Amino acid sequence: MSLDKTERFVQFDNFNPEREEMSVTRMKDQTPSPTPHNGAAPRVLSGAHVAVKGLSHSYRKADGHVLENIDFEIHQGEVIALLGRSGCGKSTLLHMLAGLTHPSEGEVVINGNVIEHPSPKWVMMFQAPSLYPWMSVAQNAGLGLKFTRRSHEIGKRVPEVLELVDLAAFATRNAQELSGGQQQRVALARSLAPRPEMLLLDEPFSALDAFTRRALQQDVRKIAKDLGLTLVIVSHDVGEAVRMADRVLVLQANPGRIAEDIEIPLSDEDRSGGSEAFSREHARLMSIYSRVADQDDAPVENDFTQL
């Protein structure tokens, strides 16, 4: 694939120039044909099914396990939060779901295939949206398609995703003219454009103010549910987990392992906060999280301000 020089040296979500050909080759076999130009409806999305089996990981042989004996399943279209204190291995686990890091032991199986490489079908979003500041919102939103050799879809697909993230009116603006929250929405549009099956979010809203963060939490959950996407979010914010997740996996540290697997049985209405049901779920999860973190003998961050 030919790319501009600048593009080659900028990391875009889980796009890795070294692995570009490999990922694209794998995609060719597995991805349905691009949207036909005859006006037919785009294919309906279905979320990824994930099975993590006997996963353990050490970064260096001499050190102990960062993650140990991790087993869990994520159903298609489910929203999962990985909740744990700093350093317990949440990001490491997320990178493994994205195929960016290989576990020392065990495997990640997505839709029946053992994951060995990154793929445009599961896209990571980070705290920094990493946009090209000199490009327009629409150009940034189309990059995922460009990098996966689907430029012919940009004209139809980019307006659709900008509409989804509520940025249609900003299509021609330069990315650098946008607020932090709007820039995260562009990054979200860019991730959604190639129709991924799973979004992996590594604390993507933590740099935003509380109001913007809450709006994005609700919108991202709604978009994932509307599209049938599987969504995994790394967080150490109990309010965020209750607002967004169907299930919360609470991780314990040293070594990182799943201490609790908790369902959050709230309606979308209750997730917006302020209801008795939301407060009850928040208190329940906070108490479990505190107990798990206490067992690590480390302080839990106080996030009551984010209620």
Binding of ligand ATP at residue 146 (CB under 6 A)? no
Q: Could you say which residues in the range 103-132 bind ligand ATP, by CB under 6 A?
A: none
Find the shortest distance in angstroms from Cβ 97 to ligand ATP.
Answer: 12
Binding-residue pattern over the window 50 to 69 for ligand ATP, x denoting contact by CB under 6 A = ---------x------x---
Among 85-93, 124-132, 217-225, 264-272, the segment contacting ligand ATP (CB under 6 A)? 85-93
Compute how many residues bind ligand ATP; rule: CB under 6 A: 11
Among 39-47, 84-92, 129-137, 224-232, the segment contacting ligand ATP (CB under 6 A)? 84-92
Find the shortest distance in angstroms from Cβ 221 to ligand ATP.
Answer: 21
Binding of ligand ATP at residue 86 (CB under 6 A)? yes
Q: Name the residue nearer to ligand ATP (CB basis): 125 or 143.
A: 125
Whether the Cβ atoms of residue 187 and residue 125 lie closer than 8 Å to each other: yes
- Binding residue for ligand ATP, selected from 55, 70, 80, 88, defined by CB under 6 A: 88
- Binding residue for ligand ATP, selected from 26, 49, 65, 90, defined by CB under 6 A: 90
Binding of ligand ATP at residue 257 (CB under 6 A)? no
- Binding residue for ligand ATP, selected from 214, 236, 243, 282, defined by CB under 6 A: 236
Find the shortest distance in angstroms from Cβ 201 to ligand ATP.
Answer: 12
CA distances from 27 to 101, 105, 136, 152 (A): 19, 26, 27, 16
Among 79-87, 115-123, 219-227, 240-248, the segment contacting ligand ATP (CB under 6 A)? 79-87
Joined together, the tokens standing for residue 105 give: 């032991």
Binding of ligand ATP at residue 134 (CB under 6 A)? no
Say which residues have a Cβ less than 8 Å from residue 224's Cβ, sequence separation at least 6: 47, 77, 79, 199, 230, 231
Binding of ligand ATP at residue 91 (CB under 6 A)? yes
Dihedral sign for Cα 28, 32, 35, 39, please: positive
Q: Name the residue nearer to ligand ATP (CB basis): 164 or 251.
A: 251
CA distances from 103 to 2, 18, 83, 132, 297 (A): 31, 20, 20, 32, 27
Among 10-18, 88-96, 117-125, 166-174, the segment contacting ligand ATP (CB under 6 A)? 88-96
Q: Name the residue nearer to ligand ATP (CB basis): 87 or 273.
A: 87
The binding site for ligand ATP (CB under 6 A) comprises 59, 66, 84, 86-92, 236
